[in-house]
Structure formats: C-alpha cells, structure tokens
Amino acid sequence: MSSQLNPGAQDLLLVIDVQNDFCAGGALAVPGGDEVVAKINQLAAAFAHVLLTQDWHPPGHSSFASQHPGHSPFDTMQLAYGAQTLWPDHCVQGSHGAELHPALAIAHAELILRKGYRAEVDSYSAFYENDRHTPTGLAGYLRERGLRRLFLVGLATDYCVHYSALDARREGFEVVLLLDACRGLDSNGSLAKALSAMRAAGVEIREDAA
C-alpha cells in the first residue's frame, strides 16, 4: 500500500502533466497514460502536500510542428535556445486537451503550476524552461514552504518527468521517482536514456510505489 511510503511534513508528491492530451485519445497520447491516474490518486491520499503541473501552451506555440513548414511531429530542430523536439499541437490553453484528467481526484493539492506558456520557448521541466535558464519559480516556492523531498509521478517519464527530476536534483532537492505511476513516450530510446541520466543525477528510482 502507498502508506508504506510514509511521507512526512517535508515531502511533496509532484504530479506531472496528467492531462487529457497525454492520455488515450489525446493529441500527444502517452501509451498507457490513463493507467497512472488511479495509482496517483491512491498515492496522493498518503501525502499532506501535493502539487500538480499543467503543460499550458498558447496557440501557435514554437514547439508545435505545425509552426514549422517542412517539419513533422517528433522531428528535432534548432530554435533560438538550442535543439527542440517538435510535437503535435497539444495542451493549448483553455482547451479540453489541456485540462487535468477528469478522474484525477486530489482535492487537497495545494498548487497547480503551469508551464510552457511562453510562445517562443518550451518548458518540459517544472523548474526551468527549455532555454535551461528561465526559472518557473518552483524551487523558491518549495524552499519557502520547507519541502525538501519530492516524489515524482506522471507523464511523460522521458520528457517532463525526466527534466523535472534532473532540475530538482540540481536545485538540491531529494528526488524519488515512482516508476509505476509514470508512463513514457519512448521515442528513439528516450526512456532508457532518461532513466540512466536520472540515476546518474542521484534520483532514487522505485519500480513499485505500492
């Protein structure tokens, strides 16, 4: 049971991008994305502190392949700040696809952090935009709240969860990844690469959260 985790006052469950567009029928569906919802609800019940993130792009966002003639989703291209993977249009502000999954039931979540809202720069991480420089403010928020250990769950393991985990380590937080409450896109071996990068950065990876 999730009570085995025994989270304390300095622990936070960080739920990454459990939104319609990343689940079955969504614009950028992660295989098995829906499967994390029940697990996350169960985990959340054991945590006093829960934070949700929401990928939140304006229409015409620069990470959308539709904005770059001649390019297709999952291509990589150079933007002003470096290499960027291109995606189908997804999580457009105010759209149904951008809403949190309707079965997510975490009424006691204390903050919903939106990211990726600047047209010219993507933000996989909950901490830094993809220029790797512009902060979202989350590190400061967590420090002021005295939250020190972050349990990460959600979508997608190899993108937003991965980047959030690495940045959290860089900011000095303890990080535990609960793998069975995550699902990945796994394009071109990205999942294995992400897992080894997270391990190397000192992220504790638990296969089975329950």
* Footprint of ligand VGL (CB under 6 A): 17, 22, 55, 87, 124, 155-156, 159-160
Distance from C-alpha of 57 to C-alpha of 31, rounded to nearest angstrom: 22
CB nearer to ligand VGL: give 5 or 16.
Answer: 16
Stretch that binds Zn ion, among 31-39, 53-61, 67-75, 186-194 (CB under 5 A): 53-61
Q: Tokens in use for 24?
A: 């079955």
Determine whether 160 is an active site residue.
Answer: yes
Determine if the peptide bond prior to 109 is cis (ω within 30°): no
Binding of residue 55 to Zn ion (CB under 5 A): yes
Q: Which of 115, 122, 158, 167 is catalytic?
A: 115
Sheet of 50-55, strands arranged across:
111-115, 50-55, 11-16, 149-155, 174-183, 204-206
Sole window of 18-26, 31-39, 41-49, 51-59 interacting with Zn ion (rule: CB under 5 A): 51-59
Q: Which of 91, 122, 158, 160 is catalytic?
A: 160
Among ligand VGL, Zn ion, none, the one that 159 touches (CB under a kind-dependent 5 to 8 A) is ligand VGL
- 193 part of the active site: no
Q: Which of 17, 21, 55, 167 is catalytic?
A: 17
Binding status of residue 158 toward Zn ion by CB under 5 A = no
**Whether 182 is catalytic:** no
Piece of 32-40, 49-57, 144-152, 182-190 that binds Zn ion (CB under 5 A): 49-57
Query: 187 or 196: whose CB is closer to ligand VGL?
Result: 187
Q: What angle do CA 82, 83, 87 make, to 5 degrees?
A: 130
Neighbour-count burial of 72, counting CB atoms closer than 10 A to its CB (0-12 exposed, 13-18 middle, 19+ buried):
exposed
Q: Which is nearer to ligand VGL, 46 or 61 (CB)?
A: 61
Residues with a known catalytic role: 17, 115, 160
Binding site for Zn ion (CB under 5 A): 55
